[in-house]
Amino acid sequence: MSHHVTLRYADGVERSMSVAADQTVLEAAEANGIPIVSACQAGVCGTCVARCTEGRYDYGQSIGLSPDEKAKGYLLTCQTRVSADSTIYLDYPLGANAARLVVGTVRVERVERLSPTSALLVLDARDVTEPIDFKAGQFADLKVPGTTAWRSYSFAHAAREDGRLEFLIRLLPEGTMSDYLRERAQPGDLVELRAPKGAFHVRDAVRPIVLMAGGTGLSAILAIAEALVAQGTTQPIRLNYGVSRAEDLVLTDRLATLAARAPNFTWSAIVQHADAAWTGRTGLVPALLAETDLAGGECDVYLCGPAPMVDATRAWLDAHGCHKPNLYYEKFVASGVRGAATAAVSGLQSPDVATLRARGKGTAVVLGGSIIGISTAKALSAHYEKVIILEKDPVHRRQEGRNGAAQGWHLHHLLIAGQRQIETLFPGVVDDMVAAGAFKVDMGEQYRLMLGGSWKKPMKSGLDIVCAARPILEWAVRRRVDDEPQIDYRYETAVQDLVLDPATRSIVGVVAMHDGHAEVLPAEFVADCAGKNTPVPGILDRLGIGAPELDEDCINCFYSTMQHRVPPERAWRDKVMVICYAYRPYQEHYCAQFYADRSRTVLITSLVGYNMYRPPRNAEEFREFARLMPSPTIGEELDGLEAISPVYNFRYPTMQRYRYESKSNLPAGLVAVGDALSSADPVSGAGITKGLLELAELRKLLATGAPRDAAFVRDYYREVAKLEDLVWSVIREQNLRYPWIKDVEKKRPFYFGAQNWYIDRILEAMHDDPDIYRRYLEVVQFVSAPGSLLAPGVAARVLGKWLRAKLSLQPTLIERNFRGARSAASRS
């Protein structure tokens, strides 16, 4: 069954499409060549936000929306499935084509028969008005001439400027495109095209590269090889190419040309069913891995071909203990437009809880493979023989963002308290980060902070902080798990359910889904580190235990980030980070600039807006957004710099806190850590640090308590509730200044006005008092308690400065910067 959906753009243009029951709105739009701006496609970043003005739908996994926004009709197109004819509004013009999807008509230039089972289709795209800026490895949708059928094929070359597109296509005995190419194709035929598409593409080469191609999977792999050689990559590039029969080997002349052009490029071929004329290797393509230098696992592996070939390659790597490579792969779909298939769950009998309880002894399961999940697994490995991490994302060992951690592309802070905690789990990990390119600097000297509308003066604080993009931190921590034989990290595995033993009121197993098959994992202890989108509260509700009460602050925080290349003469030498904090309630924008690493060649700019629904979607809009920031220096710094990334968006609609400490019927053997328990406004930078401090409490209890005891769970939540109270009070002191926060008057404590007033005086006093500035940094870095700012000596200096300004009838620093603050002061 399908439904009719009308997409209405901000410029008044409408597009209509049919959406099948198993399609999301975004999937249907892409299948129909209709552009919708998107990024993570996991319901996390919020980039694909839209608003339904008419119709019915299911939200899916929509962590990027708050309850209030859902009530107003907002939805995420990457997750939403319609259940009736609907109209959806997109707050950007169709004409700008911000989704970067080119729709046009190209002409057949020629069809070159390469083998009995393959052909090279060459298309002339010079009449297409927009450039098709694809990345090597991506694909295009092509409409078969004379039919209504669309088929998807990978580009068989790196990007070039001659306007010609090539696709290596498998010829099936019977197939819509195959029949056309064999029987009817003529030069000049018109072919409708939608491109570029796909998340399989080449990354920056920072480690040796291994390329694995099966059959016409060579198309994408050849494109990647050509792109790497064209870029002048110095890393070793090895291409392994396998086919069924020797006659199926094609385009080997292009492989030979690459080998002659680049000494670091080598390739080998293997044939599964060889005849007498074949003198090369015989077997399946994974066999070539035995003679491939995998650099001890420190390599990036790209796989493209039939699903059995991809699965066999992954199995070979696992069987040979090669767990460190990054794996990027594309499995062939025989025909039809590519879409997100819904995996079928293999049948499961009701598990025997007694058996699970017995088999689970000595095993802990961690839900989520984030930094907090990995750290929790390390802590549990001291008490359990085996720890299994379940992570829904694909393998990630590169220093890059990933869909399941959408903030990875944006400003990131591991607060000093967090650095100290993570060092206790992974000694030397901070040094690993520094070796990987992170800065380790004195925060007072090397950070430039705008607070209360004024830049604070640099000073030596004695507070050493690690400054780097989040991928460096995650990479450094993730690598440590490879050296832990007790820890089994399982990618692409989603949590479906928990198994409750009603006799002991304890969790004894986890139902996990991988490749469409469900498996029950016995467990003595389960840690929920699955983040804000955790399924556990819903599972507890289904089990009859009931979901914990949820506190939420709807802040509607939107991050937009771009990366720019910095020439040596433009690189900062006196600082590594610039942050402009919004002075609330008068400002709703925040921004930061920092270097990706110590090379000082890539500047990352993160722009943040509160209470907004229209983030920038291209470089021009990004520059316009920069003009709204508290200081013009952020935008000015971008003048003349080359953009080297798209606009990355990340939406954080709510701070949320599950009140587990208020429940008296929680099962034994299950605790939540990190965002799965309580989340923080990302601007605070407190998220990972808060999770590590929660983990510190768990480690104390594990050292002294019995984790199978329900009292253990109650003690844990009672202790960490004190921490949540502290973190939320620090963050809310700022956020609850905004009058548009839902139920803000109810949420403000009775001392809220006095607290705001005193914090403002702190911001003014530390402008000329390095000691107060240092103390303030210690508090926001969770090194010292907020009460340290109330010490008699501090309070005397803070109040003294304010009193002197008042006695001289002069406005204070903040009153000079914000006239509204002066008016408010005169009314109070």
Residue 340: the pLDDT is: 32
**Residue labelled with tokens 């990036």:** 300
The dihedral formed by the CA atoms of 550, 551, 557 and 563, expressed in degrees to the nearest 10: -60
Report the largest interatomic distance among the alpha carbons of the chain, rounded to a whole angstrom: 102
Please spell the DSSP secondary structure of 233-245, one letter per residue. --S-EEEEEEESS
Region 414-442: mean pLDDT is: 94
Residue 311: the pLDDT is: 85
Quote the CA–CA distance of 487 and 373 in Å, as a whole number: 12
CA dist 213 → 207, 243, 304, 371, 808 (Å): 19, 9, 5, 33, 78
Res. 198 pLDDT band, cuts 50 70 90: confident
Q: Which of 510, 479, 456, 635 is nearest to 562 (CA)?
A: 635
CB 136 within 8 A of CB 227: yes
Quote the CA–CA distance of 296 and 55 in Å, as a whole number: 54
Higher pLDDT among residues 64 and 719, named by residue? 719
- pLDDT tens-digit readout, 571-619: 999 999 999 999 999 999 999 999 988 999 999 999 999 988 777 878 8
Quote the CA–CA distance of 739 and 182 in Å, as a whole number: 67
Q: Spell out a b/e string for 563-572, using b for 16 or more CB atoms within 10 Å of the CB, else e.
A: bbebeeeeeb
Quote the CA–CA distance of 476 and 440 in Å, as a whole number: 15
Q: Which of 208, 255, 200, 197 is nearest to 234 (CA)?
A: 208
Q: If phi over 0 gives left and psi between -120 and 50 gives alpha, with beta otherwise, what is residue 46?
A: left
Comparing 2-16, 244-258, 607-621, the range with the smallest average pLDDT is: 607-621
Residue 110 CB partners (closer than 8 Å, separation 6+) = 122, 187
Residue 334: the pLDDT is: 47
Token code pair at residue 683: 């601007």
- Helix, coil or strand: residue 794: helix
- Secondary structure of 598-645 in the HEC alphabet? CCCCEEEEEEEEECCCCCCCCHHHHHHHHCCCCCCHHHHHHCCCEECC
Record: fold of 2-90: Ubiquitin-like (UB roll) (3.10.20)
Question: 297 forms bridges with which residues in the sheet?
Answer: none
Q: Which of 691, 696, 716 is nearest to 706 (CA)?
A: 716
Average pLDDT, the chain: 90
Residue 481: the pLDDT is: 85
Quote the CA–CA distance of 174 and 262 in Å, as a whole number: 40
Q: Which of 540, 245, 490 is nearest to 373 (CA)?
A: 490
Comparing 60-64, 283-287, 292-296, the range with the smallest average pLDDT is: 60-64
User: What is the pTM assigned to this prediction?
Assistant: 0.78
The dihedral formed by the CA atoms of 649, 655, 656 and 657, expressed in degrees to the nearest 10: 130
CATH 3.40.50.2000 given to domain 100-336: no
β-pairing verdict for 577-580 and 447-451: parallel
- Helix, coil or strand: residue 14: strand
Res. 345 pLDDT band, cuts 50 70 90: very low
Q: Which of 9-13, 88-92, 750-754 has the highest mean pLDDT?
A: 750-754
CB 468 within 8 A of CB 490: no
- Secondary structure of 123-174 in the HEC alphabet? EECCCCCCCCCCCCCCEEEEECCCCCCEEEEEECCCCCCCCEEEEEEECCCC
Region 426-451: mean pLDDT is: 94
CA dist 236 → 268, 287, 324, 468, 685 (Å): 14, 19, 17, 27, 38
Rounded to the nearest 10 degrees, the angle between the axes of helix 371-380 and helix 687-704 is 10
Quote the CA–CA distance of 739 and 315 in Å, as a whole number: 56
| Length of the chain in terms of residues written | 828
Rounded to the nearest 10 degrees, the angle between the axes of helix 752-765 and helix 770-780 is 130
Quote the CA–CA distance of 16 and 4 in Å, as a whole number: 7
Quote the CA–CA distance of 72 and 75 in Å, as a whole number: 9
> Does the pLDDT value for residue 148 go beyond 50?
yes
DSSP 80: -
Determine how many CB atoms are found less than 10 A away from the CB of residue 686: 25
The dihedral formed by the CA atoms of 633, 639, 642 and 646, expressed in degrees to the nearest 10: 60
Quote the CA–CA distance of 451 and 446 in Å, as a whole number: 16
Domains 2-90 and 352-412+468-549+659-748 share a fold: no
Residue 464: the pLDDT is: 96
Please, what sign has the CA dihedral across residues 365, 369, 374, 375?
negative
What separation, in Å, do the N-terminal and C-terminal C-alpha atoms of the chain show?
A: 63
Task: Give yes or no for a cis peptide into 196 (omega within 30° of 0).
Answer: yes
Q: How many CA atoms lie within 13 A of 311 on its CB side?
A: 6
Comparing 283-297, 308-322, 768-782, the range with the smallest average pLDDT is: 308-322
Residue 348: the pLDDT is: 55
Quote the CA–CA distance of 532 and 539 in Å, as a whole number: 14
- pLDDT tens-digit readout, 474-520: 888 888 888 888 999 998 899 999 999 999 999 999 999 987 788 99
Quote the CA–CA distance of 127 and 8 in Å, as a whole number: 28
Residue 707 CB partners (closer than 8 Å, separation 6+) = 383, 524, 525, 668, 669, 701
Domain boundaries along the sequence of the chain: 2-90, 100-336, 352-412+468-549+659-748, 553-653, 752-827
Residue 553 CB partners (closer than 8 Å, separation 6+) = 654, 655, 656, 681, 732, 735, 736, 741, 742, 747
- pLDDT tens-digit readout, 734-778: 999 999 999 999 999 999 999 999 999 999 999 999 999 999 999
100 phi and psi angles, rounded to 5 deg: 60, 30
Res. 821 pLDDT band, cuts 50 70 90: low
Residue 826: the pLDDT is: 47
Determine how many CB atoms are found less than 10 A away from the CB of residue 299: 21
Q: In CATH, which of 3.40.50.2300, 3.20.20.210, 3.30.9.90, 3.40.50.2000 is domain 553-653?
A: 3.30.9.90
Comparing 156-160, 204-208, 455-459, 678-682, the range with the smallest average pLDDT is: 204-208
Q: Spell out a b/e string for 436-462, using b for 16 or more CB atoms within 10 Å of the CB, else e.
A: bebbbbebbbbbbbbbbbbebebbebe
| CB burial of residue 594 (10 Å; 0-12, 13-18, 19+) | buried
Residue 56: the pLDDT is: 95
Region 8-30: mean pLDDT is: 92
Please spell the DSSP secondary structure of 687-732, one letter per residue. HHHHHHHHHHHHHHHHHHS-TTSHHHHHHHHHHHHHHHHHHHHHHH
Region 64-87: mean pLDDT is: 90
H/E element, 461: none
Token code pair at residue 476: 């450094």
Percent of the chain with pLDDT over 90: 70
> Does the pLDDT value for residue 404 go beyond 60?
no
> Does the pLDDT value for residue 333 go beyond 60?
no
Percent of the chain with pLDDT over 70: 94
Write down the CATH number for the domain with range 352-412+468-549+659-748: 3.50.50.60
Region 317-327: mean pLDDT is: 80
Quote the CA–CA distance of 194 and 33 in Å, as a whole number: 6
